[in-house]
């Protein structure tokens, strides 16, 4: 296998000097940033979603709703790479932990999209459910907690899984803040071996396999949710 030109390139890029360990170390950084960012994004996005849905007694949006809209507009209207650079060089310039800075940056970015996912999931719950809760004596908070949120959770879970997959791919830019993720590892290997094709294609294959596995798991989860809805 390794007697051909392609075989020798594969051997040099992944096997010689145990270079495969570098790729998996890079993949570990990618997954850490994506996972931490997803957690931050879900927490922040849920808070922002409720802020955006908040209304006063007259039914008009509150100041929190306006703040949420401004946050979502700014984050969704600017490139994630610029947000990462601003976080690294300006806001958190004194921090030395690149994974923490990248996770916060992507978490804030993801929060804007998660907020819309959660908001849409809550609004997708039939208003009759809220009215039913109120009719049996539940407060607005209790109705939201015990009736609306459990149903909205099923609506938002698949999109949140897709958001995590998107985060994995978006973290490919963390090399801008000197993190040696999977993409940066492959790029550095091209300089070491003077071979751009093999390391980059190899990294692409690793990304594809990881995302394909997650996609299959997400599809199984969606099927289970649909089955539970049909009962």
Domains in the chain, start-ordered, CATH in brackets? 5-230 (1.10.3720.10)
pLDDT of residue 206: 95
pLDDT of residue 85: 94
Give the Cα separation of 78 and 109 in Å (integer): 9
Q: Looking at 4-126, list the stretches that DSSP marks H as alpha helix, in order from N- to C-terminal side.
A: 5-10, 20-53, 63-76, 80-86, 98-123
Task: Give the pLDDT band (50/70/90) at residue 195.
Answer: confident
pLDDT of residue 95: 86
Residue with more model confidence, 2 or 65: 65
pTM (two decimals): 0.87
pLDDT of residue 2: 58
Report percent pLDDT > 90 for the chain: 53
Residue 79 has pLDDT above 70, yes or no: yes
Closest CA to 166 of 92, 112, 221, 118: 112
Residue 15 has pLDDT above 80, yes or no: yes
Tell me if 21 sits within 8 A of 87, measured CB to CB: no
Average the pLDDT over 6-13 and give the result.
80
Pair of tokens at residue 30 = 């990618």
- DSSP, collapsed to helix, strand or coil, labels residue 55 as strand
Name residue, tokens 């109705």. 143
| Angle made by CA atoms 155, 160, 164, in degrees to the nearest 5 | 165
Chain mean pLDDT for the chain: 87
pLDDT of residue 144: 73
pLDDT digits (tens, 9 = 90+) for 103-139: 999 999 999 999 999 998 888 877 776 667 767 766 6
């Amino acid at each position: 296998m390794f007697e051909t030109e392609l075989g020798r390139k594969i051997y040099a890029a992944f096997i010689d000097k145990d270079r495969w360990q570098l790729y998996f170390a890079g993949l570990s950084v990618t997954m850490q940033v994506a996972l931490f960012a997803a957690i931050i994004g879900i927490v922040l996005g849920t808070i922002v979603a409720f802020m955006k849905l908040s209304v006063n007694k007259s039914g008009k949006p509150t100041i929190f709703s306006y703040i949420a809209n401004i946050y979502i507009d700014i984050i969704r209207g600017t490139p994630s790479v610029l947000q990462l650079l601003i976080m690294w060089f300006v806001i958190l310039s004194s921090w030395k932990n690149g994974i923490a800075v990248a996770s916060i940056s992507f978490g804030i970015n993801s929060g804007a999209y998660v907020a819309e996912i959660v908001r849409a999931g809550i609004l997708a719950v039939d208003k009759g459910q809220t009215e039913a809760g109120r009719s049996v004596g539940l407060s607005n908070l209790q109705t939201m907690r015990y009736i609306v949120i459990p149903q909205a959770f099923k609506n938002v879970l698949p999109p949140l899984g897709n958001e995590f997959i998107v985060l994995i791919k978006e973290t490919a830019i963390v090399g801008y803040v000197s993190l040696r993720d999977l993409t940066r590892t492959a790029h550095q290997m091209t300089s070491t071996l003077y071979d751009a094709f093999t390391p980059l294609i190899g990294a692409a294959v690793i990304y594809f396999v990881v995302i394909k596995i997650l996609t299959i798991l997400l599809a199984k989860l969606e099927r289970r949710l649909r089955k539970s809805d049909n009962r």
